[in-house]
Every structure is written in C-alpha cells, then in structure tokens.
Amino acid sequence: MKKIRIIIIDDERTARDEVKRLLDSFPDFEIAGEARNADEARALIESLHPDLIFLDIQMPEKSGFDLLESLDKVPQVIFTTAYDQYAVKAFEVSALDYLMKPIREERFAKAVEQVRSKIVKQHADRIFVKDRQQYYFVSWDKVYLIESMDNYARLFFEGKKVFLKSSLNQLEEKLDTAIFFRINRAQIINMQFIQNIAVAGNGRLNITLSTGDVVKVSERQSVRFKNMKRT
C-alpha cells in the first residue's frame, strides 16, 4: 500500500496533536513532519514533497494563504481552522476539504476518503495564485498560454485569466521545457494545446491553439521551434 505523506501545519501544538491522533486510524497516511508557522512549513514542503498538508489558516505573521502563495509546487490541501469566515474562501480555491476546530471524527474520516481518490488521480504540478480577492489552485497542464505583463505573468486556463507575481523569465526557468515553449518576448505556450502550425512571412510561424487562440512566433524562436521538432 502506497503511503500518503503528510505535513501538519498549525501554530498550536494541541491542534497538531489532535490531527495526529485522528490519523492513527488510517495506516496508509504517514506523517512526514509538522510545522508551527509558514516559514517552517515552506522549508519542510520543499524538502519533503508531501502529498497532502493539513493547514491552519490563521497563524502568526503569515497566514496559510500566504504560505500557499509562496510555493512553486502546491500539494493537496485540507484547511483546518476555528474561523468559519474563511470557509467560502477556502472552497473558492478548491481545497480538498475544510475542517472546523474542534474536528469531529466523522468529518475527518470523510475528508480522508476524499483525499485518497484525489491524490491517486493527481499527476500535474500546480501552484496557488491570489488574483485580487480570488484564490486559485492552478494545474500547469491546464495552462495553455502565459503572457508577460511587466513584473507579472498572466495565466490563461479553463476560460480564466489570472495574474501571477512572477516575470516571464522567472517562470521560463521553472517550467518543463518538454511542454512549455517561449514563442516570443512576451508569450509562452503549452505545446500540448497546439492544433495547427502555419508558415507566415519570413519563415515565421503562426500557431493555432485548441482554444482558438492564434499566436505569432518570433523569427528567432521559429527557427528554434523547427529545429526542436526535427530532433
């Protein structure tokens, strides 16, 4: 049986102990670590790569949302908190579940059942994005176009457009080059969405995506793209 690796993040030790006690009944869940604040949690997540985090929202200095926004790759999340005003916001970001403290055993068991099936199906890396007052978990395999907007990048996915606090150059260094290609100074495309490639003037390429968007490849990047496809 594959173990589901977990990190518990809460500034209260008693709250962390309660989650650990509840997890005793589920042998396929393995506690990889625990953290008292967002900075500790980020270091653990980046070194241990957990499948799931139990995350308190209200913590000193940085909230659970601040933590998620700082991560390059976001694991599955179950929020735990005593403040129910965060419930709607949590579900807007498609968290796996939302557990109110004190956590009832039957609600915990329900959350565990949900996480099992979700993690098994999870394949793509994802990030957490705050855009104005909206929060999103964004899977990179759903992003078909990325545009430069000064010091921000605009992500296009599933009919949405959101801004990410990152330059296009910073993103290009992190993205999988087997999937994402920089077509010009201002745009990166997901090559899995390519529907048609046409040759325009001066040998430049125009690419039509399956979303209907048509993007223009610069002369230099057109050469790179053609050479890449030959290899």
CB 81 within 8 A of CB 105: no
Query: Which token pair is 187?
Result: 């745009």
Distance (Å, rounded) from C-alpha 144 to C-alpha 211? 8
Query: For residue 123, is pLDDT > 80?
Result: no
Residue 31 pLDDT: 97
Query: For residue 98, is pLDDT > 90?
Result: no
Q: Residue 230 — pLDDT band, cuts 50, 70, 90? A: low
pLDDT in tens, 166-212: 999 999 999 999 999 999 999 999 999 999 999 987 889 999 999 99
pLDDT in tens, 1-20: 578 999 999 999 999 999 99
Distance (Å, rounded) from C-alpha 64 to C-alpha 128? 11
Distance (Å, rounded) from C-alpha 138 to C-alpha 93? 9
pLDDT in tens, 16-58: 999 999 999 999 999 999 999 999 999 999 999 999 999 998 8
Residue 153 pLDDT: 95
Residue 136 pLDDT: 87
Give, in degrees to the nearest 5, the angle at Cα 188 between 183 and 191: 85
Distance (Å, rounded) from C-alpha 118 to C-alpha 126? 14
CB 16 within 8 A of CB 8: yes
The larger pLDDT score, comparing residue 109 to residue 229, is at 109
The larger pLDDT score, comparing residue 231 to residue 34, is at 34
pTM of this structure:
0.81
CB 101 within 8 A of CB 82: yes
CB 192 within 8 A of CB 224: no
Q: Residue 95 — pLDDT band, cuts 50, 70, 90? A: low
Query: For residue 228, is pLDDT > 90?
Result: no
The single-letter DSSP state of residue 93 is T
In the block, tokens 């992003």 appear at: 143
DSSP, residue by residue, 170-218: HHHHHS-TTTEEE-SSSEEEEGGGEEEEEE-GGG-EEEEETTS-EEE--
Distance (Å, rounded) from C-alpha 222 to C-alpha 75? 36
Distance (Å, rounded) from C-alpha 140 to C-alpha 127? 8
Residue 119 pLDDT: 80
The larger pLDDT score, comparing residue 41 to residue 65, is at 41
Q: Measuring CA to CA, which residue among 143, 152, 213, 230 is closest to residue 180?
A: 143
Query: For residue 59, is pLDDT > 80?
Result: yes
